[in-house]
Structure 1
């Protein structure tokens, strides 16, 4: 249903064996990329999911470790044969940033559409059933957290439709949530559909302090991918100064938000052995895991 891959886990600069933080989501043959630091195209090539199906690139903010890989990525997408338009979205400044970065990638076989996301909580419909929610967070520059939500349709009751004498060709319209008129009678979706059903929710948050609105934003997520710049609680002052999080702070958000699973990412270059500090997260939220390069998860609707 929804496939998630953490392409890289590094913050600030790539290291041998550790690419810069980026995540890709694949849904119904279409892909959405979150952040694109230098080298993102390399780890994506290693993953083997291809480039052509990337239709949206989302930026959390415009520090180099999150955007400098864009020109190469756009060229790789073009070389893969894409001709359909591609959307790039991010906080205010996206137009200037993309124009600057694409000076060295001026000839692409597809159009780029840019969407500037205002610094407030909002929702964007990417394609049918796939929604992106954004939330402003607290970093040294304007920054957004993202949430992917896959809608699940309400269960159709054919017996009820038959009892209302609705012809079968009209059932699909009702399933889409649209009312129909048959023999002068209006039939609404509520008359033939069951209660709302839980979909799939994945949140991606990096380069921020653990601000309070994040708790409700990530509430009930199946997967929460969150920065853990520093593993030791002794780095709190540094985290506060630079707008980052500790392992324990990310875990506290996961616990308070009632998420199912936490993946830590965006490690400081000085954090060469993050496995030494995973206990600082698990003592707060036991279902915490260290993000690794090309770590993947398949998410499906639950019964």
Structure 2
């Protein structure tokens, strides 16, 4: 299962009831933060989650509403006596941007490692967790910007009868179930496909902000269990403004959710002028019925189909 919390839903500037952009994802003791806008630390406190165990911070791009909360976050993590390395992921220029922001957070008790995204797509893995895949994909904003897709793979069911038929000792069952290949002292080799059925449906989460609609977004969001997408504007007359600033409307987001065949979509990254996104939901729901105008702190635990 994957825990997801949309910490901040605001774009451009924070409001009294709306922090700037940030998403936290937790899986198997690991935590990933995507973007770190102003107010992220307060949002984490409200949720009751700690910044200390964050293993990875991913950035969509380097506009201030997506990264301005980073120096304070780093200082808080340092004050919590963190010593483990922190991995940062982002577009070209990542190390230069972070080091500039660290002018006010120059000394930290933990090292920072950098992974700059190369090309239109890039895939990463959490250390020791090959089943959890993170993919960055280029979107269409007025500066270099990426969306993120996370997939938790799920192996097929263990077949006890197949294990017995192949003469596999029980002590090897658990490693094989975890995907390991076994080489015995007497020269035999056992592979996971000997005891596992076909792969089962996993969990798919996709996150996109600051972009015009693209076929790449639709492709990467296809069949997502949860699609979190920018809905910068709700007013129909602001379509031209969305085009000019490389953002999208609530209705364009709904069209992509429909094309991608996702289960559920949360809208986020609202313009400060969009005071009440719910006001525009009825029309969006006509396009994609399971559209939700998310608020700060909205959270969900995504589970495998037979565990939901």
TM-score by length of 1: 0.97
Match of 1:262 among 265, 268, 272: 265
TM-superposed CA distance for 1:116, in Å, is: 0.2
What is the alpha-carbon distance in structure 2 between the residues aligned to residue 39 and residue 119 of structure 1? Answer: 31
- Once the two structures are TM-superposed, the CA of residue 81 in structure 1 deviates from its matched residue by 2.8
CA deviation after TM superposition for structure 1 residue 29, in Å: 1.9
Report what 2:110 is aligned to: 110
Counterpart for residue 46 of structure 1: 46
1:32-66 CA-to-partner distances (Å, cap 9, x unmatched) read: 00100122111111111111111110000000000
What does residue 190 of structure 2 align with? 187
Structure 1 portions without partners, runs of 5+: none
CA RMSD after TM alignment: 1.2
Q: Does 1:119 align with 2:122?
A: no
User: Structure 2 residue aligned with 1:152, among 139, 151, 154?
Assistant: 154
Secondary structure at the counterpart of residue 44 of structure 1: helix
Match in the other structure for 2:297: 294
State the partner residue of 1:59. Answer: 59
Alpha-carbon shift at residue 214 of structure 1 (Å): 1.1
Partners of 2:183 and 2:253 in 1: CA distance: 51
Task: Report the counterpart of residue 280 of structure 1 in structure 2.
Answer: 283
Structure 2 counterpart of 1:142, from 144, 164, 187:
144
Distance (whole Å) between structure 2 residues aligned to residue 272 and residue 143 of structure 1: 26
Of 272-281 and 11-20, more deviation after overlay is shown by 272-281
Partner of 1:248: 251
CA distance in 2, matches of 1:56, 1:34: 8
Checking the alignment, whether the CA contact within 8 Å between 1:90 and 1:117 is kept in structure 2 is yes
Instruction: Tell me the SS of whatever aligns to 2:20.
Output: coil
Report the CA distance between 1:72 and its aligned residue.
Answer: 0.3
Q: How far, CA to CA, are the matches of 1:290 and 1:97 in structure 2?
A: 32
Contact 2:155 2:196 in 1 (8 A): no
CA contact (8 A) 1:232 1:280 kept: no
More displaced, 119-128 or 46-55?
119-128
For structure 2, the 5+ residue unaligned runs are none
Q: Is the 8 A contact 1:156 1:193 kept in 2?
A: yes
**Structure-2 residue corresponding to 1:130:** 132
Query: 1:280 Cα deviation (Å)?
Result: 2.5
1:179-204 deviation digits (Å, cap 9, x = unpaired): 33444443322221100111111111
Query: In the alignment, which residue of structure 1 is the partner of 2:86?
Result: 86
For the residues of structure 1 that align with 2:183 and 2:198, how far apart are their CA atoms? 22
2: CA distance, partners of 1:154 / 1:99: 44
User: Deviations for 1:231-268, whole angstroms, at most 9, x for unmatched residues?
Assistant: 12221111011010100100011111010000000000
Q: After superposition, what is the alpha-carbon deviation per residue over 1:193-230, rounded to whole angstroms, capped at 9, x for unaligned? A: 10011111111100000011111100111100000000
